[in-house]
Chain A
C-alpha cells in the first residue's frame, strides 16, 4: 500500500497500558484513504482495542486481501506482522497461518467485495473451521478501488452514485455466518466507536472465529441519498440490540456481579463480556432466536454483539494440535528416523 509515515511525537501525559505502551505505539502509517472514509474510524477503533488489551505488537498478525479495506492493516500497529495478500484469499492464508502458529493474535481485515464475492468460499469455510481470529468486514456496499460498482452487500433498491438501483438480493454476512455455525457474530458502525471498541476486544478474546460486520460508509461512491450504506441512512436505521461491556480477565469477579437484566459470557482467556439486551427478550446465546430476530427486523440495521458461543472447539482443538506453535516443534519430534523406516518397509514387501 502506498503510505505516508507519521511523525512520532509522544506527549508524556499519554496513558500507558499494562505492558507500558501508549496508544501511539499501536498506530500505523498515515492513511491514504479518502478523507472521511469509514475505514479510518475502524482503524482507530482497532488501534484502541489492541492497546487496551495490552497485546505485544509483534504477537499480532494482521492480514488482508485486496480492496480499500485491505489497505487498512498498514494504518494500525506498525509493529505487527502484516500480510496484504490476494483478493479474497485472506481467510485461507490466515487459516494456514493459524494452523502453523496458534500463539499469535490474528486480525483479518476484509471488505464486502473481498469477503462476500471473490472470497466468499474461504470466509464460509474459515467460519466452519472456527479459526481463532478476529475477522472484520468493512462493509460499504460498493467497490471503491474500481470506482463504484455494487458489491454483494448492496441492498435491493439502493442506488449507485449515478442513480442506478441494485435489484439483486444482498448477502448479509451476519445471517450467513449464523446459518453456518459461526460462534461469534457482531455488527457495528464505523461512526460508533463507543460500541465498536468493546466488540472488537470481545472478538479478539473470543475462542474461535469472530466475525464483525462493520457498516463503513464510502464517502466517495456510496454516501449519497438513495444509498442504504451512507452515514445518514445508517444513523437513522441503526438499532442497538445489545450493549456489550468488555471486562478483562483480572476483573472477572467484579464482572460476574453485574446489574440485573444482563447476560455475562466468560471468554476463553477469563475475560468477561457483559451484555445488556435492549429488546428485553433478546438472547445473544440462542442462535435460532437471533436468526429469527434478524429476519423479522431486516428493515433496521441491528447492531451490537448479536451472537456468541464460547463452547465450540476451534481449529486446533478439532485437530488436537499441541499448545505450542507447530512451526516450533523440533525436527526430532517430527522425523520418525532410520529404524522406523526400516521397520515400516516390511509392510512394503
Chain B
C-alpha cells in the first residue's frame, strides 16, 4: 500500500486537468484567489491549448509558505476531470500523492496505481441530479470539485462564499447555483473523504501588501499611467488581453467628464504592418503610442521598425512572447524573440529592450518604455511573455509616483523653433547623440521631411558614403548611450560565490529558488537578472567577476547568451547555457539539474546544515 505524505502546511502543488471551454477556468481561479485571500503565497499557471472548446487544459496551483511559487513539477494532488488525459494525469502524481476524480463511471483498472490515493466523488451523478439544464450541469461540475477541494485542503469557506458574492452580485440565480454546487462537493467530501489531506492550508498574512494581477493587465495600466493616447494593434494570442485591458481602463479613466469625449484612440489595424505604421504616424505627431503583439507580429513589423529606427521616431512595442517559429504554439510561453527584437529589421539596426520579470515590473516598465522611446527617439520593446502576460501573479501592490513627469525627450516648442535660425532635424545632437525634433503643425520654421531613405545629418536626402555613415555611426552611439538609462540588473550576491547565474524576465522566481536550493547543496552562486538592453557595464563586470556564469533562458538557441557574446567583450566560454523551451513556465528543477552536472567538484562545498523547516520542498526525488 502507498505511503502517506508527511503533514505539510501551506506547501504543496496540485494540478487540475480539464477540458477547455467547459467553465473550469472560473472554478480554478476561484480556488487560486481564495488561497491568495487567505494570505498564503500562491501561484497559478494556466497550461491551455490553442483552441476554444474540447481540448485538454490544465491549471497548476502551487502553495508555498516561504514564497517559492515558481512552477512545481511534482503534484501532491491531481484533479483528473478529463478522461482524454487520464493516463497521463495519473502518471504525473507523485508517489504517495492523491488523485481526485469523477467516480460516476468506473475507473479503467489499467489506470490504477498502487502508490496513489484515489479520492472518488461522483461529480456528474450529483450534478445531473441537482441541475436540469445541460450546460449548467457541465459548468457546475467545476464548482462542485472546487467545493470538494475546499474541504480537502481546508480552504476558508467564508472566503470562497465572499468571492462568489462579489462575482455574482448582479446575478442572483447564478450565485445560487454556484452555492449549491459548491456545497454538493464540499458535503460529499466531508462525509466520505479524509479531510483535510496531510498537506493543507492555514491562514497566513503574507499577502497584505500584495495584489493578484496578470502582466497584460499591468502593462495596459502602465500605458494608461504613462499617458499613451494612441494604441494600434492586431489581435494575436497571447497579447490580446493587453489591448482589451487598455480599452477597459481608458473607458474608466479617459472619458472627459464634461464632454464624454475619449482622450484615447484605439485602432484595430488590418495587420501588424498597419499597427506599427499607425504607432509610428502617431508618435511622429507627438502622441505617446504603442502596440501590443507577439513574435509573429514582430516578424511583420520588422520593415517599419527599421524606418522608426532610421528616421528616429519613438515607438513602444509590447511583445508578449509565445512559442515559435512560425505559428508555433500560440498558447505556450517562451523567450524566443530576444534576438529578433534586438536587431529587428534589415540593415544595421539595434533596439532598446526591457525585460520585466512579473506584472509589477510590467506596470513599472511601461512608462519607462515611453520615456526611453521619446528620450532616444527610437523603438523600445517591452519583452513580456505568455507566462507573465496571461497568468495571475501575486506581486507587491503597484505604486505610482504622483510627481512623475513624462520624459518627452528633445521636442522643440513653437517659441524655441522661432528662435533658431534654421531647424535641422538631426543636428546638433546632445550628449546622448539625440537631436531635437519638431512636431508637425507647431511652427512654420519647424517643418522638415521625414524619410526612411538615406539622409545626411541635417535630414536631407543623400547617397554620399561619408554622409550616410556619419548618421548611422551616430545612431550606434545613441544606442550605446541608452545603456545608462535602461533599468539596472538585479544582483543578489552570496559570500564566496565563484559562479554566477544570469537570467531574464519570468524565469526569475524559478532561478531564485534554484539559487537557494543550490546553496543548500553547497553550490554558492551569485544571481543577476538583466532588465534591459543595451547592456550596462555592470552586466559585463558581473560576468568577468565569476569563473563562469550560467545563462538561464527559455529558448533553444541561447538567445540571451548570444546577445551577451555579441554585445559585450566577455569570452564566449565564460557563459554556459541552461535552456528550457518546451513551452511551459520554468521550474527550479529545470535549472538545478543542468547546473549540478556542470559545476566542477572544487566549486562545490559541503552542504551547510539547513533548518528543514525553512526549506522548500520542490521534489523529494532529488532532495
The chain B residue with its CB closest to the CB of A331 is: B227
A101 and B286: CB pair below 8 A?
Answer: yes
Shortest distance between the CB of A241 and any CB in chain B (Å): 31
- B56-64, B268-276, B510-518 - interface stretch: B268-276
How far is A85 from B286 in the complex, measured between Cα atoms in Å? Answer: 17
Query: Using an 8 Å CB-CB cutoff, how does the interface string of B304-315 with A read, 1 for contact, 0 for none?
Result: 100100000000
Instruction: Output the residue of B254, B287, B448 with the most chain A CB within 10 A.
Output: B287
B304 and A89: CB pair below 8 A?
Answer: yes
B400 and A103: CB pair below 8 A?
Answer: no
How far is A80 from B228 in the complex, measured between Cα atoms in Å? Answer: 26
Query: Using an 8 Å CB-CB cutoff, how does the interface string of A22-65 with B read, 1 for contact, 0 for none?
Result: 00000000000000000000000000000000001111010100
Instruction: Output the residue of B224, B230, B453 with the most chain A CB within 10 A.
Output: B230
A337 and B269: CB pair below 8 A?
Answer: no
The residues of B that contact A335 with a CB separation of less than 8 Å are: 224-227, 404
> Is B88 at the interface (CB under 8 A from chain A)?
no
How far is A3 from B449 in the complex, measured between Cα atoms in Å? Answer: 12
- B140-148, B170-178, B255-263, B582-590 - interface stretch: B255-263
B441 and A97: CB pair below 8 A?
Answer: no
Q: How many residues of B are counted as interface, with CB atoms below 8 angstroms from the partner's CB atoms?
A: 71
> Is B443 at the interface (CB under 8 A from chain A)?
yes
The residues of B that contact A341 with a CB separation of less than 8 Å are: 221, 225, 398-400
> Is A254 at the interface (CB under 8 A from chain B)?
no
The residues of A that contact B228 with a CB separation of less than 8 Å are: 334
A92 and B281: CB pair below 8 A?
Answer: yes
Given the known interface contacts A59-B441, A96-B277, A336-B225, the answer about A327 and B448 at a Cβ–Cβ threshold of 8 Å is no
The residues of A that contact B439 with a CB separation of less than 8 Å are: 101, 327
How far is A97 from B279 in the complex, measured between Cα atoms in Å? Answer: 8
> Is A193 at the interface (CB under 8 A from chain B)?
no
> Is B342 at the interface (CB under 8 A from chain A)?
no
A338 and B452: CB pair below 8 A?
Answer: no
> Is A294 at the interface (CB under 8 A from chain B)?
no
How far is A331 from B229 in the complex, measured between Cα atoms in Å? Answer: 10
Instruction: Output the residue of A56, A321, A334, A338 with the most chain B CB within 10 A.
Output: A334
How far is A79 from B226 in the complex, measured between Cα atoms in Å? Answer: 33
> Is B193 at the interface (CB under 8 A from chain A)?
no
The residues of B that contact A124 with a CB separation of less than 8 Å are: 270
> Is B37 at the interface (CB under 8 A from chain A)?
yes
The residues of B that contact A165 with a CB separation of less than 8 Å are: none
> Is A74 at the interface (CB under 8 A from chain B)?
yes
Checking A58, A89, A333, A348 against B263 with a beta-carbon cut-off of 8 angstroms, the contacting residue is A333
A1 and B274: CB pair below 8 A?
Answer: no
> Which B159-182 residues have C-beta < 8 A from chain A?
none
A349 and B404: CB pair below 8 A?
Answer: no
B441 and A93: CB pair below 8 A?
Answer: no
How far is A121 from B263 in the complex, measured between Cα atoms in Å? Answer: 28
The residues of A that contact B85 with a CB separation of less than 8 Å are: none
A86 and B452: CB pair below 8 A?
Answer: yes
Instruction: Output the residue of A1, A56, A58, A315 with the most chain B CB within 10 A.
Output: A58
The residues of A that contact B273 with a CB separation of less than 8 Å are: 89, 92, 121-122
The chain B residue with its CB closest to the CB of A328 is: B286
> Which B184-228 residues have C-beta < 8 A from chain A?
211-213, 221, 224-228
The chain A residue with its CB closest to the CB of B442 is: A58
The residues of B that contact A129 with a CB separation of less than 8 Å are: 267
The residues of A that contact B230 with a CB separation of less than 8 Å are: 96, 99-100, 326
> Is A319 at the interface (CB under 8 A from chain B)?
yes
The residues of B that contact A92 with a CB separation of less than 8 Å are: 269-270, 273-275, 277-278, 281
> Is A329 at the interface (CB under 8 A from chain B)?
yes
How far is A56 from B232 in the complex, measured between Cα atoms in Å? Answer: 29
The chain A residue with its CB closest to the CB of B448 is: A81
How far is A79 from B304 in the complex, measured between Cα atoms in Å? Answer: 26
> Is B602 at the interface (CB under 8 A from chain A)?
no
Given the known interface contacts A125-B274, A322-B256, A329-B229, the answer about A79 and B282 at a Cβ–Cβ threshold of 8 Å is no
A337 and B402: CB pair below 8 A?
Answer: yes
> Is B397 at the interface (CB under 8 A from chain A)?
yes
B289 and A336: CB pair below 8 A?
Answer: no
The chain B residue with its CB closest to the CB of A129 is: B267
Checking B221, B270, B285, B448 against A125 with a beta-carbon cut-off of 8 angstroms, the contacting residue is B270
> Is B524 at the interface (CB under 8 A from chain A)?
no
> Is A345 at the interface (CB under 8 A from chain B)?
yes
Instruction: Output the residue of A57, A61, A89 with the most chain B CB within 10 A.
Output: A89
How far is A121 from B278 in the complex, measured between Cα atoms in Å? Answer: 14
A327 and B229: CB pair below 8 A?
Answer: yes
A348 and B453: CB pair below 8 A?
Answer: no
How far is A96 from B36 in the complex, measured between Cα atoms in Å? Answer: 42
The chain A residue with its CB closest to the CB of B303 is: A86
A349 and B441: CB pair below 8 A?
Answer: no
The residues of B that contact A334 with a CB separation of less than 8 Å are: 224, 227-229, 254, 263
Given the known interface contacts A86-B307, A334-B254, the answer about A100 and B398 at a Cβ–Cβ threshold of 8 Å is no
The residues of B that contact A331 with a CB separation of less than 8 Å are: 227, 405-406
How far is A192 from B273 in the complex, measured between Cα atoms in Å? Answer: 36
How far is A96 from B307 in the complex, measured between Cα atoms in Å? Answer: 15
> Is A104 at the interface (CB under 8 A from chain B)?
yes
B463 and A2: CB pair below 8 A?
Answer: yes
> Is B603 at the interface (CB under 8 A from chain A)?
no
> Is A147 at the interface (CB under 8 A from chain B)?
no
The residues of A that contact B269 with a CB separation of less than 8 Å are: 92, 125
> Is A162 at the interface (CB under 8 A from chain B)?
no
> Is A83 at the interface (CB under 8 A from chain B)?
yes
Given the known interface contacts A95-B267, A95-B278, A337-B400, the answer about A327 and B450 at a Cβ–Cβ threshold of 8 Å is no
How far is A100 from B284 in the complex, measured between Cα atoms in Å? Answer: 9
Shortest distance between the CB of B254 and any CB in chain A (Å): 7
The residues of A that contact B440 with a CB separation of less than 8 Å are: 58, 61, 81, 97, 101, 104
The residues of A that contact B339 with a CB separation of less than 8 Å are: none
B281 and A96: CB pair below 8 A?
Answer: yes
A84 and B451: CB pair below 8 A?
Answer: yes
> Is A273 at the interface (CB under 8 A from chain B)?
no
> Is B446 at the interface (CB under 8 A from chain A)?
yes
> Which A67-84 residues have C-beta < 8 A from chain B?
73-74, 78-84
The residues of B that contact A85 with a CB separation of less than 8 Å are: 277, 280, 304, 307, 450, 452
How far is A1 from B444 in the complex, measured between Cα atoms in Å? Answer: 21
The chain A residue with its CB closest to the CB of B363 is: A341
How far is A225 from B447 in the complex, measured between Cα atoms in Å? Answer: 43
The chain A residue with its CB closest to the CB of B462 is: A2
The residues of B that contact A3 with a CB separation of less than 8 Å are: 461
The residues of A that contact B221 with a CB separation of less than 8 Å are: 341, 344
A82 and B461: CB pair below 8 A?
Answer: no
How far is A337 from B442 in the complex, measured between Cα atoms in Å? Answer: 29
Checking A125, A326, A340 against B229 with a beta-carbon cut-off of 8 angstroms, the contacting residue is A326
> Is B264 at the interface (CB under 8 A from chain A)?
yes
Shortest distance between the CB of B108 and any CB in chain A (Å): 42
A79 and B444: CB pair below 8 A?
Answer: yes
**Would you give 16 A-B contacts (Cβ < 8 Å), ordered by A?**
A57-B444, A78-B447, A84-B453, A92-B278, A95-B278, A96-B279, A97-B285, A99-B265, A122-B273, A122-B277, A321-B264, A325-B286, A326-B282, A334-B224, A341-B398, A348-B211
Task: Give 8 nearest A-B pairs by CB, closest first.
Answer: A96-B281, A92-B277, A96-B278, A100-B287, A97-B281, A81-B440, A100-B282, A327-B286
Instruction: List the interface of chain A (C-beta within 8 A of B).
Output: 1-3, 56-59, 61, 63, 73-74, 78-86, 89, 92-101, 103-104, 121-122, 124-125, 129, 315-316, 319-323, 325-329, 331, 333-338, 340-342, 344-345, 348-349
Question: Given known contacts A95-B274, A96-B278, A122-B274, what 7 new A-B pairs fall within 8 Å (CB)?
Answer: A1-B453, A1-B461, A92-B274, A101-B287, A334-B228, A334-B254, A341-B398
